[in-house]
Structure 1
Amino acid sequence: MIRLNILLTIIIISMKIVTNSILPIVDLKHELLTEIVGRYRLAARQLHESQTIIPFKIQFPIHDIIKIDSSTNEYIFRATIEINYQFEFLQWDSNDTYNRYYDIDEIILTKTILQNLWLPNINLKDEEFLLFNIEYESAKITRNGYIIWIRRGLFTIVSLIDLTYYPFDHQYICIKIYNKQKTFKLQQEKTNLTKINTSNLWTRLFNNIELNSNDNYSLIFQEYNLLMKPIFSRGWFVRTLGIESKINNENFNYINIYILMQRRRESHIYTIILPTLFFSIFIIIFYFSSIKSYQRLIIGLLHILATLLFIIYLDKKITAEKLTYTPLIIRYLSIIFLIEILSLFFDHIIHSIYHGGIHFISNWLCQYKNYDTQPARLSHIKLLTHGVYLNNTDNDENTNILMKKLIEREETLKFEDYQQYQWYQQACLSECLCCSFFLIIIILVFIFIFFILPTFGLSKMT
């Protein structure tokens, strides 16, 4: 009897093995995909025939600026468009544990299905100036009936590049997207993102505060414009991204995407700002130091040459075919270049007049007093020698005369020394006033160009 039971068990097991080897293995995901695609085609047919409200959201994260070409006025950056919408009859039961599709959370549509399947068609309004090259496309359907359609690629925008505020400029771009299916209605869903980051400054300052859910606190931690993926490029980055939906007559949908890009300041501070400040401070220090006229002239010429090189460098770096305005930093450096030339000219003239005038008056005094046109100190030595010589000859009368002349000469020398000292002080004071005057002009020009003048164009750039 036992042998008979063992034999029957072996026969049953072998029959199951043979049956499983003969019958095909059913792929549940493929079976569900076929069923859902059939439902979707029926739903798409109904959407063409009747007006149906399809709620969806569009995500437009900017990942990186690839290239900005000023010669062709093109912006190229990588972007992702994601559209989510829901069909209730596409969902499968998730609560029934006996359902054969219970363990399947989502199904992914293959490339062949995407080519033959109808999807909402989103087109760019200005196709002449906007181009979207799709690099990757995917779509999936979740168990709740949500369809997630993602397109990743490169956006190329042809827009006028304004380098007026280079290197601190902003670029404003507006992308208009519309839906060709005029039967669709757009429902906009607005969500407020509030998140406390562990590395936030407020959490570092108030990390010891214990919050009680029963108490009310006026201190609320909120973060806006969350940066999900950091950007490490040293060129441009997106500062503001806004999406605005517009509905005309409830049957034609527009989506305006606003992008405000800003140039990274640290990418130019080492090549432009710091060398200029270094040379300016270097020149100011030497202007107020006790150096000679020819040294001051050489330093001024070097400063003018350095400013001219900066202008040429910037002009080559930001050369573009279609510039509406000259960059402000070029204007500023051009004004500084002219001021430096005038400063060097007036400084050299003042220096030459005062110091040349001192030597001219000294020589004129020597000639007027008839002291053999010799310098004052040399005449003093000659008179002293004559006085000592005559004293040895015991000629009292001549000695008294010479001593009287010697005393008069000493008084004249003191007066000349005092005049030379006064003239030297006036020359230094005039040079300091001249340098201070041009320094104040440079500061005022800098404030006007970079702080006052840009305020007149804020409405155009924001």
Structure 2
Amino acid sequence: MKSLYGAVLDGYDTRIRPINNQSAAVYVNTKFVPQSLLEFDTSEQKFSMLGYFRITWIDEVIRWDPANYNGVDSLKIPITQMWRPSLIILKAFDGHGVVGQDTDLTIVSQHGVVSWIPEGIYSIVCNVDIKYYPFDEQTCTITYYVSDETILTVQLDHYLSVDLAEYSENSAWTVAGTKRVKYLQYNTYNIDITLTLQRRASFTTFTLIMPLLMLAFLNICIFLVPIGSGEKGSFSITIFLSYGIFVTIISDTLPHNSLQISYFVLFIVILLLLSVISVFYTILQAKLIASIGDKECTVSFLRPKRKDPNAVEKFAPNDDEMTSGQIKEKSLYNEKAPVDDADEVYTWGKFLERLDIYLFVLFLIMIVLTTVIFFIVLLNHATRSGNIPADDDPPATTPVFPV
């Protein structure tokens, strides 16, 4: 083994591409294998994935005959003692996008096939679209290239599709689809590994949306509280402050620099606006009751209909023509008959009491319509994005390595 290491590494220069014809390009095959989604912070737009690369190329300098070395057909060589492609990940979150470490080892076969598997946590900046939160779908792309080479010196490739065989499911996000794209940019090949993620909305639905809907229907109960109870104002203020707590929770979850407006935030704003209107109405109602509550209302709207004195009444026979049972029934009816309130004064207090019922129905309709529209828009988006085609495109280049 010492003799073999000395023979293959004697005079080896890591600065020179390991190919006999220096006018040709070194073919570097890569394959990204994601293992686990560690973090996806939508506020900071930070996407962190634990995984590794399978990087393979042919080193024409390191070759030997196993018969001369007691059948040894492979070696473990530190990556620092060999030429390697300088892979860089674009948009690295910490600004350090170098793939691999100096402590990595490579496995080299007798034919010079080098296998390098750098593992690590790769954090990138991922643009977040919160328009359909919490039924949103995010697309994050890991882009890498060889920084100090061109297409004339290194041909970078990603053979086959992204392998999810070793991926462990995340509790908050699910991988709905993957895609890899190879393209030429700035005279070098770039590889895009795109992961489409869908949020698991069950937790958000039961912890945010359902309590918010309960609070919305509780808000309209303000109009059912009697005016004279003295609790109407405090009840409306309490509901309004509860909305403020929800806005604080959502603001800590969503990114602050997003260019899109979330439908969920718009839904909260509408409910908050209805709560503000109800608080303003409650205060105005208390002021009107204290000022002109006992005065006659001059507004004919919502005034109860009075009995028309000229209306034709049903004919009733005289007492002489009625039987004893009919006379008794008539006397009981006259005792229970309501007193004509034609002369009763219709005050502003009674007007506001009747107005509460109409506002309750109006706010109930508005909340129901807003909720239905909100769920229709989000669920339609979730249905459209539920079936994402897999990345089954044929590879751009088929690697040819000696066996």
TM bucket, shorter chain: 0.5 to 0.7
CA offsets, 1:13-56, max 9 Å, x none? xxxxxxxxxxxxxxxx4444444446986994435613146262
Q: Is 1:178 paired with 2:145?
A: yes
The answer on 1:445 being equivalent to 2:370 is: yes
Superposition map of 1:49-448 within 5 A = 49-52=22-25, 54=27, 56-61=29-34, 63-66=36-39, 68=41, 70=43, 74-86=46-58, 101-102=70-71, 104=72, 106-110=74-78, 114-124=79-89, 131-132=96-97, 134=100, 137-142=104-109, 145-158=112-125, 160-179=127-146, 180-182=148-150, 183-186=153-156, 189-190=159-160, 226=164, 228-232=166-170, 234=172, 239-247=176-184, 252-280=188-216, 292-293=226-227, 294=229, 299-318=235-254, 320=256, 322-343=257-278, 410=334, 414-416=338-340, 434-448=359-373
Q: Which runs of 5+ in 1 are unaligned?
A: 1-28, 194-224, 362-406, 421-425
Paired residue type of 2:117: I
The Cα shift of 1:79 comes to 3.8
* Closer, same or farther: CA 93–291 of 1 in aligned 2, 3 Å: same
Provide the secondary structure at the position in 2 that maps to 1:51: coil
Q: Distance in 2 between matches of 1:187 and 1:39?
A: 29
Output the CA distance in 2 between the equivalents of 1:412 and 1:359.
Answer: 30
Q: Number of matched residues?
A: 334
**2:36·2:170 contact (CA, 8 Å) conserved in 1?**
no
Q: Following the alignment from structure 2 to structure 1, what is the Cα–Cα distance between the partners of residues 105 and 27?
A: 20
Paired AA for residue 312 in structure 1: T
AA at the equivalent of 1:259: L
In structure 2, relative to structure 1, the CA distance for the partners of 1:105 and 1:452 (3 Å cut) is same
Gaps of 5+ in 2: 298-330, 345-350, 389-403
Q: Percent identity?
A: 19
Give, in whole Å, the separation in 1 of the partners of 2:97 and 2:203.
Answer: 29
Letter in 1 for 2:141: C
More helix by share: 1
Report the TM-score when normalising by structure 1: 0.54
Cα offset, 1:435, TM superposition: 3.2
Q: Which has the larger radius of gyration?
A: 1
Answer whether contact 1:106 1:141 (CA < 8 A) is retained: yes
CA contact (8 A) 1:328 1:450 kept: no
Q: Which residue of 2 aligns with 1:210?
A: none
Distance apart, 1:169 and its partner CA = 3.8
Does the 8 Å contact 1:66/1:78 carry over to 2? Answer: no
Aligned partner of 1:206 in structure 2 is: none
Letter in 1 for 2:159: E
Which structure has more RCO (C-alpha within 8 Å, separation ≥ 6)? Answer: 2
What residue identity is the alignment partner of 2:88? N
What CA distance in whole angstroms lies between the structure 1 residues aligned with 2:255 and 2:26?
A: 50
| Contact 2:28/2:55 (<8 A) preserved | no
